[in-house]
Amino acid sequence: MEESDIKFLEESFKKYYFDHFDLIRVPERTSEREFGYQKFNSGMTRHISIKDDKELHLLLMQNIPSDVYCSNAYYSFPNLPMNEKDWKEADLIFDIDAKDLNLSCRQDHTISICNDCNEVSKNSDQCIKCNSIKLEKKSLPCKNCIDFSKIEVSKLSEILIDDFAITSEDIHVYFSGNEGFHVYVYNSQFQQIGSRERSELVDYLMLHGIMPETFGMKKFKPNRSSFPDFNEKGWRGRFSKQMFGSKSKRSKIISELLVNGYTSFQKDLDNISEKIGVKVDPNVTMDIHRIFRLPGSINSKSGLTKILCRDLKKFDPYSEASFLNDDSIEIFANCPIEFKLKNKKFGPYTNEKITVPTYAAVYMICKKLATID
Amino acid sequence: MLILGQDEKAKYPFLTDAGEYLKDKGFPLVQFGTDPVLKLSVEKAFHRIQVATEGQIYKSDLIDGQASKPFILEREVFSFLLAVVLIKLTGMSTLTKRFALAEARRAEKHLEKDLGNASDKSKIDLAIRIIDDLFSVQVEKLDDYFVIPVSDYLKHSINFHEREWKLINRHVEHGKVFLTPHETVRLIRTELGTYINSKIVNAKTPTMISGFEDYVNKLVLLSKKFTTFTVTTGEYPPCIKHAIEILEKGENLPHSGRFMLATFLLSKGQSVEQITPLFKNAPDYNERVTLYQLNHLAGTSGSGTQYSCPSCTKLKTQSLCFAIPECDNIISPLQFGKKRK
């Protein structure tokens, strides 16, 4: 990124940090957490410990980071190197990202930026100018992306509550600041489990590794009575709702399943798990030493804020998570896709000089689709 | 502290304090080498180990956990304690492991029977308490099932590689996993083995007792049979081949895939300099960053921790596993192509 762009972004971020101390609060048990941050065009600084809001705000004002992170884990000595920190426990976290949902709309709003010649084009596998295959993909997520991500969040919450006895008050959902949601689970029985155990939880939620026998299909002498019923709890109940559709069709469909046999049933299961399994990023949940984007901080992939969603259904990130100011700024934009922020439409722009509000300029510059000159 | 009845001591002899038990009974260890009646217990102890090395479970003289005569109960406990003494005298760790496993499986059978005992609540309670005391797993009885918290279940089940132990293939409700008595006990088998193993490892090695020499020599000979040889084909497992292919095509390999590839090759003895060029085609290749990260994984920079290659289970979760029949139930890519002979 050019110096002038960085300067502009830093100025905008600094103003946000200064004006919104109320949004950027340290999490509970602050002194047991590890903090970290990144500056534009620079590596990660981590293993930092912070006492309170004041110290955090000072760090933000002094360093003007592009991104700020905080561990979901609790340590005795968060500022020491990893193997000396003395890990105590970690909140359960989930990352749901629109890019992992295989949505058909992605095609329409993904842009390829060539690493060799900087040419911007609509989604392609090869640069249209220099044929390079070293392309960086940027997405300008749409409403559809957010709506489908919300469905995944709801699926996740339902299972956490029904199967794992977690109370809804202990589930906090945040917009990630870019194209998805971060879900935190507090005070659960899973605080102290390690990475491998968390990986098993992920498989459970994603409906990975299921055996036909679990849903009633046996290899030898299969019978009708072992198939799940509508009102069963857990995955058997959810499976039967998806597989049979309605109670009246159950019997007929079981007959078909029995005729088709075991191997075919395994294939059916794979399809079903794609539909009803929760699509979380397994790596995030499995990582018990991660520093995760700090709520209230700006995501430098978009200039939007990671913010708590109190009413997920109504939540609109493109109006509620954009906190940068409206001051006009002239930029040079090459953004082939239209986008909406604070209920205003922008673009498409083809290599043109435009004057837009700061929040829209930051959005495009963060996506590498505009520059200050 | 668990207070055990005489028959529980016979079923779960590893819960007794060896020294105290013998002292209580009034028999010093040396007497077992000379007294012809007591020597029968040494003979039994030898048999107990021998059976274990054959992968069998020692059949006790108890009938349904009960003894027909009191001295039978005593001999059950003696033979276990003496088996530990014999193993300590051989100094062969392979015997310890095999014996601990066999004894764990034996105890498992008794625990399972006690848990499933519908008519005697005290037996169920004791079995539940043993499981709680030894392994901190809180088991509750609910109708015909035993339920345990999901987190406790996971701590133990992650050591199993069979699909039926995956949480997804379990009945889960309100934060609990539902298990049969058999499954409840099976869940703690490894830990039971580890517990017995550590008891043996931590037991004091006595000086050779006259009358024990023959048994000890026979056991040393026996344990030498277990040394295995492995040969390696040198071929890469499919997950690694796949990762290399992706990079060769210049496509994006996710961070987790790069981690797998790098840690795998480092474990196979390749140097950071040998590995770096593999990543040249990655869309976001930056030599400085790649070198930094590889050195970090190798433990030559940063905290000095050497990162190890992820297990097959982890790779499955990360969608990086492309198992083929030749994988043959290995649990880490590093085991691929190794054949035991």
Whether residues A208 and B158 touch (CB distance < 8 A) is answered with: no
Which stretch of DSSP H or E encloses residue A114? strand A110-114
Query: CB of A187 within 8 Å of any CB in chain B?
Result: no
- Write the pLDDT tens digit of every residue in B196-220: 998 888 888 888 888 888 999 999 8
pLDDT tens column, A93-108: 999 999 999 899 988 8
| Residue in chain B nearest A281 by alpha carbon | B318
CB contact under 8 A, B151 and A192: yes
Give the mutation candidate from A200, A213, A219, A226 for the B interface (greatest B CB count, under 10 A). A200
pLDDT at A266: 93
Q: Which chain B residues have a beta carbon less than 8 Å from that of A286?
A: 314, 317
Q: What residues of A act catalytically? A: 95, 97, 281
Give me the half-sphere count of Cα atoms (radius 13 Å) on the Cβ side of residue A197: 19
C-alpha–C-alpha distance, residues B67 and B73, integer Å: 6
Q: Which of A83, A189, A203 sits opposite B175 (nearest CB)?
A: A189
Tens of pLDDT, residue by residue over B71-90, are 777 888 889 999 999 999 99
**Token pair for A326:** 């409206």
What are chain A's domains?
3-100+142-203+281-372 (3.90.920.10), 208-276 (no CATH)
- Residues of B with a Cβ under 8 Å from any A Cβ are 149-151, 154-155, 157-158, 163-164, 166-169, 171-176, 250, 255-256, 283-285, 302-303, 305, 311, 313-314, 316-318
Report the distance separating Cα A297 and Cα A196, nearest Å: 30
A202 has a chain B CB within 8 A of its CB: yes
pLDDT of residue A361: 97
Phi-psi region of A137 (alpha: psi -120 to 50; beta: other; left: phi over 0): beta
Q: Would you call A197 and B284 a contact, using CB atoms and an 8 Å cutoff?
A: no
Burial of residue B48, with CB atoms counted within 10 A of its CB: 0-12 exposed, 13-18 middle, 19 or more buried = buried
H-helix segments, chain A = 3-19, 53-63, 143-164, 195-206, 234-244, 247-260, 262-276, 282-286, 317-320, 358-366
Cβ pair B154:A166 closer than 8 A: no
Do residue A189 and residue B305 have CB atoms under 8 angstroms apart?
no
Q: Classify the C-alpha dihedral A258-A263-A266-A271 as positive or negative.
A: negative
Inform me whether the C-beta atom of residue A201 falls under 8 Å from chain B C-beta atoms.
yes
pLDDT of residue B341: 46
> Nearest-CA distance from B286 to chain A in Å?
12
Q: Which helix (H) or strand (E) holds B217?
A: helix B213-224
Contact at CB, B169 and A211, closer than 8 angstroms: yes
For residue B157, the distance in angstroms to the closest alpha carbon of chain A comes to 9
Picking from B154, B166, B305, the nearest residue to A83 by CB comes out as B305
Q: Is the bond into A336 cis (omega within 30 degrees of 0)?
A: no
CA distance A241 to A264: 19
pTM recorded for the entire structure: 0.82
**What is the nearest CA distance from B21 to chain A, expressed in angstroms?**
38
pLDDT, tens digit, 9 for 90 and up, residues A113-141:
888 888 888 877 888 888 888 888 888 88
Q: Is A164 on the interface with B (CB under 8 A)?
A: yes
B311 CB neighbours in chain A (<8 A) are: 196
Determine whether the interchain pair A200/B166 forms a contact, defined as Cβ–Cβ distance below 8 Å.
yes
Nearest to B317 among A193, A199, A214 (CB): A199
Query: Average model confidence (pLDDT) for chain A?
Result: 94
Q: Which positions ≥6 away from A359 have C-beta within 8 Å?
A: A303, A322, A323, A324, A325, A326, A341, A342
Question: pLDDT tens track of chain B, all 341 residues?
Answer: 567 777 788 888 888 776 777 777 778 888 888 888 888 889 999 999 998 888 787 777 666 556 667 777 788 888 999 999 999 999 888 888 889 988 988 898 888 988 888 778 888 888 888 888 888 888 998 888 999 999 999 999 998 888 999 999 999 999 999 999 999 998 888 888 888 998 888 888 888 888 888 999 999 888 877 665 556 667 889 999 988 888 887 777 888 899 999 999 998 888 888 888 888 777 777 888 888 889 888 888 777 788 889 998 888 888 899 888 888 888 899 988 876 54
- Cβ contact (<8 Å) for A234 and B172? yes
pLDDT of the residue at A228: 94
Determine the distance in angstroms separating the CA of A241 from the nearest CA of chain B, rounded to an integer.
Answer: 17
Residue from B138, B145, B154, B253 to probe the interface with A (highest A Cβ count within 10 Å): B154
* pLDDT value at residue B75: 83
Is the distance from CB of A238 to CB of A204 less than 8 angstroms?
no
Contact A163 B318 (CB under 8 A): no
How deeply is A41 buried, as exposed, middle or buried, from its count of CB atoms within 10 A (0-12, 13-18, 19+)?
exposed
User: What's the token pair of residue A15?
Assistant: 């103003």
Out of A133, A200, A213, name the one closest to residue B167 (CB).
Answer: A200
Residues of B in contact with A211 (CB under 8 A): 163-164, 169
- Give which of A185, A203, A280 to mutate to test B binding, by max B Cβ within 10 Å: A203
Q: Does A370 touch chain B (CB under 8 A)?
A: no
Distance CA(B159)–CA(B172), nearest Å, equals 19
Phi, psi dihedrals of residue A42, rounded to the nearest 5°: -145, 165
> Between chains, do B284 and A193 touch, taking CB under 8 Å as contact?
no
The answer to whether A211 contacts B305, with C-beta atoms less than 8 Å apart, is no
Joined together, the tokens standing for residue B61 give: 């003289």
ipTM of this predicted complex? Answer: 0.92
Q: Which of A136, A163, A166 sits opposite B172 (nearest CB)?
A: A163
Q: Write out the DSSP string of B53-113.
A: HTTPPPPPS-BTTB-SSHHHHHHHHHHHHHHHHHHHHHT-HHHHHHHHHHHHHHHHHHHHH
